[in-house]
Amino acid sequence: MSRAVGQEPGTARAGGGRWQLLLNLSVWVLLLVACARPVLVEKPIERERPVRDLMLAIDISQSMATTDYTDPSGQRVDRLQAVKGVVRDFIARRKDDRIGLIVFGTGAYPQAPLTLDHASLGILLDEVGIGMAGPNTALGDAIGLTIKLLDKAKEQEKVLILLTDGNDTGSAITPDHAARMARDRGIVVHTIGIGDPEASGEAKVDLQALQDIAQATGGRFFRAGDRDALQQVYATLDHITPHRVKTFSHQPRRDLFWWPLGAALLALLLGHGVAALATARRASPAHLTRTER
């Protein structure tokens, strides 16, 4: 180590030997600390991930144009407009869930994929219009499409909230068969009937079929005769499907070994500099003596 700092062993004076020994020890300690690779563990960073996929299926058949609901100001509106307002509020409260939207009439169609982008989901909900999926009601197909979409989902908890004001009038798959398939895949189906059970033909809501679907899948059936009742239904659904997230925690680590390593290198440079300066000072008087002679 003496040679490392620019001196031959035994040439240093007692005082120089002491500081040189101290320097050598300091360098060794710093190198050992650097080899231990110290790290700084910073504050944990937490990330949350939803654990529930929630699909909304809304009937947009021609009967949804019936103006037997009212908006918050008391003005009469069609059923779909009332449903949109209540569903929009429901989506706003479900910030931790991935939510998708299916619309159905004569056929069932995906309007929005499962997403956490609820602002975009609201825009797609606003674009839904009466009759755009046909005038009839394909209740079983709506459940079947939900099964297909949720089969690709990784979350264990899968829920469908199905709203209709009519009865099944031509699905490729019957509602009871679709309900059994949903049950076998662990999908809970909550059903909401908003139509008139006393009506005739396709406009008559089949409350018994909706009850059977909910019962078969472990869900609940609701009857909503007006907007206030519909709001209460979605408030209840918000309560019985509580928000759940899975939290992931990560603590960033920062390497600190370069601090002691840098200090050791700096100490070596300092030692070389001091040794070179001391050697130069000792050489100057000797050179002057030889010159005088």
**How much of the chain is helix, strand and coil, in % rounded to 5?**
45, 20, 30
Cα angle 46-239-69, degrees, rounded to a multiple of 5: 125
110 φ, ψ to 5°?
Answer: -75, 120
User: How many whole angstroms separate alpha carbon 56 and alpha carbon 145?
Assistant: 11
pLDDT tens digit string along 190-237?
A: 999 987 777 766 667 789 999 999 999 999 999 988 888 888 898 888
Give me the percent of the chain exceeding a pLDDT of 70. 82
Q: What is the pLDDT of residue 153?
A: 75
The whole-model pTM stands at 0.67
User: Which residue in 104, 6, 15 sits closest to 56, CA to CA?
Assistant: 104
Q: Examine the pLDDT at 84 and tell me if it is beyond 60.
A: yes
Q: What is the pLDDT of residue 50?
A: 56
| Domain boundaries 47-247, corresponding CATH code | 3.40.50.410
DSSP state of 131: T
Q: What is the pLDDT of residue 16?
A: 58
Average pLDDT over the chain reads 82
Q: Are 67 and 178 in contact (CB under 8 A)?
A: no
Q: What is the pLDDT of residue 30?
A: 80
Query: Where in the chain are the domains?
Result: 3-41+253-292, 47-247
114 φ, ψ to 5°?
Answer: -60, 125
User: How many whole angstroms separate alpha carbon 151 and alpha carbon 67?
Assistant: 37
pLDDT tens digit string along 259-291?
A: 888 888 888 888 777 777 777 776 665 554 555
